[in-house]
Amino acid sequence: MDIFKVIKEKSCSIDFKAKNKQDCIKKLADLISLSVEELDSDAIFEALMERENSGSTGFDSGIAIPHAKLKGLKEFSVCIAVSKKGIDFDSIDKKKSFLFFVIIGPEERTKEHLQILAQISRLSRNRNTQKELYNAKSVEALIEAFIHHTSESMKTQKITKKQMLLFVILNELRFYDDILEIFIGQGITGVNIIDSSGVKDQLSNIPLFGDFLNFLGDHTDERKTIMAIIPESEVNKITLSIEELMGDLDKHTGAMVMALDIPYIKGTLEA
Q: In terms of Cα–Cα distance, which of 35, 99, 111, 37 is closest to 72? A: 37
Residue 72, sorted as left (phi over 0), alpha (psi -120 to 50) or beta, turns out to be: left
**CA 158 centroid distance within chain:** 23
Distance CA 112, CA 95 (A): 30
Distance CA 171, CA 222 (A): 7
The answer to whether 95 touches 104, Cβ cutoff 8 Å, is no
Show which residues are catalytic: 67
Distance CA 129, CA 142 (A): 10
